[in-house]
A = this chain, B = another copy of it.
Amino acid sequence: MVSRVESAAATRRALVEAAAELLDEGGPDAVTLRAVGGRAGVSRGAPYGHFPDKEHLLAAVATKSWEAVRERLDALITDRGRAPSERLEQALTGLMEVGRRHPHAYALMFAAPTAEHPEAVAAVSRTHDQFLTIIADVIGDPQRARPIGGLLMSSVHGIVAMENGGHLTPEKWQTTGDELVKLLIDRIA
């Protein structure tokens, strides 16, 4: 019923999910290989059968998070019932939502992926491509869409990062992240 390779793949999935859960619940310090193994139902050394080191496990978590965002964008692109501008707004606010709901995982997604994690780099690239697809539908010229897309992506990320870092206090800036995204789309897209 459960072949050996299937159970190995299941363990790998369980390890990544356990790491993601621990990251969500307790931040980076809570992600211990011992805790990850424990939650996944294996021992502390088991992860080394699936990942060369802790960094690669975290890269797998980042990859999974990026893939989840990409799937949201896929659904958005497939849904032909919405106007392009509406899709763009939903794409950007969707990213902000992820950053708010899973701040630590979000920070991990935007941390520098060392060149030793090609799968993470590929997942980021695929997701960015979907962003560009959505943006190009709003901006007619696909040549102009790329820099505009870079600015939108960077700006929204900055807003989320400032929010999560506690640097975007309403008292200081007299505004909120949501308002800034609206203002951004208004001025840029």
Binding site for B on A (CB under 8 A): 110-113, 124-125, 128, 132, 143, 146-151, 153-159, 161-162, 164-168, 172-175, 179-180, 183-184, 187-188
Contact = CB atoms under 8 A, between A and B. Distances in A.
B147 A180 contact: yes
B175 A112 contact: no
A147 B179 contact: yes
Contact of A154 (B112, B128, B159): B159
A179 B167 CA distance: 25
Contacts of A157: 158, 161-162
Contact of A146 (B110, B125, B128, B174): B174
A172 B150 CA distance: 9
A154 to B, nearest CB: 4
Given A147-B180, A150-B168, A173-B147, A161 B125 contact: no
Contact of A125 (B110, B150, B172, B175): B172
A94 B164 CA distance: 23
Given A128-B172, A167-B124, A187-B188, A154 B143 contact: no
